[in-house]
Structure 1
């Protein structure tokens, strides 16, 4: 960490008007956000009143049409994310977010339009965080998520703010301290549950379950997964926010399976993951590749090396065309787990193919591939 990285980050204060200038500066700042700042901001949106939306006296007048257009463009980009990796999308989404904030910053609008614009920017910031995290740029992703929380809070959209904060919790659970992830995910759920739909509550709860699984809390994870099932069973798709279009029963079961793999309960995990992935479209290559990697790990924990290596090969080949740092991390992890079993023909084939893929990827970056040390789960 450089000296510049250690400089304190100014927490965006509660403002009397829409915080466009603060958001613009916050998104543009390239410094990492400290864990203390993340936790402080995560609490502020629950304890601070949203700003008043005052009509700016100057600037080009914009109406609800711009908010709708931004939301529609975000939805189109979100659906592109179904088929592309973060490496292909993150720069496009980042530019879209910054351009939108810059245009709105100098515009004038009504209170209704102002809140709609803030919500639209919050949705776009969530997507920016998601694809940037998938590209492995976790510090930048954190900033997008937190900026989105600020926008959603100003829009008085607690479920959207909860989605943003729980997305950050999911990232922290994967690459940071699971204890912080549990706190963030808990805060997200508590802050949003009063006005969230059933499906929104389900996704917030399953991210909390994932954080607890990463922490190793078996009892809490199982309890939360039970709550997810109950809440999701009461959901009605027509009443759910558009940004949750992707959530269905298979996605719920896949997250439960991943949690069980993390808890070393492989047999039920194999059942859940196999059934869901049999129905999962190969066109969604990144997601299916990631999920197959968890099925491969479940098989290995269940002492079925042949099945594990076979599924690992499927994950490797399916994800080869997708620019996703997450996918590569999972392949590295599986390679580490399967290396002791290279006396198995399929495991040896996976080791050779994955080595070639990882070397090719690092060749693009002009850096040597890391040695497969440590087997910490991603």
Structure 2
């Protein structure tokens, strides 16, 4: 299958399952409780589709939904009894739009979504959503090579009263940024978070914390070892994280597989890298992620510099083009 046909197939499959809601109604239409409920259903569907297909094809839809809902919120045609719930729902939609844009590496757009969503969350005192957005912003700063900015954002998060699970999430963000700055204490921090994560779950945790688990921490520790120049250790961690991905969570398998490929190439484990790349290729018709593609492009360059077998280099070139 060609690159273009694979991307077209993904778009068709995603479009066929897009959430249907009243989000596109004109701003002057009065907002009802039914509208807010449908908006929440649309958000849930975006999150589900992201887990199956990745964020690239979903960004335009999420952007339209957020613009329309924001316009209706600003118009003020809703009863005062809905003000808080409606505002919090639009903030959540902005967080999702920001995450999708981040996965698509539309970084400036992601920042705009995040800042507007953060403003709305603060207006209604939604501390849980504020922490979620700040965590995403810290991850984006780290991903784009701004580790000090990531640490500044983490310090903002640490000013809040944090539940055990939220402390684990914040610690992972701090550890990842600190590792990029060459701080060896980062490994003690991530291991402490790993020791605490299983006992950190509480019924009062925000619903979005479902992804704060041992697998997530293994991924971050793997990235930290790569930053420290030990790709062999990173390979073991990324492989363990990949094995723990639920079968239906294809996006996590895709980006997790790309991380494993990158670590294997750095470790010059050619045969294992080719097998891992083959597994990633099986997901291409269904999933897209610009962040995964960037890792595969970087792996292609590393393979070329390290004189990897041509078969592996060709496979990586094809994957990176997705």
Give yes or no for contact 1:261–1:297 (8 Å, CA) kept in 2. no
> In the alignment, what sits opposite 1:294?
259
User: Counterparts of 1:204-283 in structure 2 under 5 Å?
Assistant: 204-219=170-185, 221-236=186-201, 238-281=203-246, 283=248
Uncovered stretches (5+) of structure 1, i.e. residues with no partner: 1-58, 362-378
d(CA) in 2 for partners of 1:232, 1:136: 29
Give yes or no for contact 1:60–1:108 (8 Å, CA) kept in 2. no
Uncovered stretches (5+) of structure 2, i.e. residues with no partner: 1-27
> In the alignment, what sits opposite 1:140?
109
> In the alignment, what sits opposite 2:78?
108
Normalised to the residue count of structure 2, the TM-score between the two structures is 0.81
TM-fit CA distance, 1:283: 4.2
Aligned residue for 2:158, secondary structure, equals helix
Change (3 A) 1:127 1:288: same
TM-fit CA distance, 1:306: 2.9
CA RMSD of aligned residues (A): 2.6
Change (3 A) 1:343 1:215: closer
Q: Encode CA deviations 1:34-85: one digit per residue, 9 max, x unaligned.
A: xxxxxxxxxxxxxxxxxxxxxxxxx876465544443332122111110112
Query: Which of these residues, 139, 158, 161, is aligned with residue 190 of structure 1?
Result: 158
Correspondence 1:203 to 2:169? yes
Q: Encode CA deviations 1:168-220: one digit per residue, 9 max, x unaligned.
A: 12112112422112212222x2243x0x433233222212222222233232x
Structure 1 stretches of at least 4 aligned residues deviating more than 6 Å after TM superposition: none
> In the alignment, what sits opposite 1:284?
249
d(CA) in 1 for partners of 2:320, 2:262: 19
Change (3 A) 1:117 1:177: same
Give yes or no for contact 2:270–2:308 (8 Å, CA) kept in 1. no
Change (3 A) 1:312 1:212: farther
- Matched residue count: 294
Normalised to the residue count of structure 1, the TM-score between the two structures is 0.70
> In the alignment, what sits opposite 1:330?
295
d(CA) in 2 for partners of 1:218, 1:305: 29
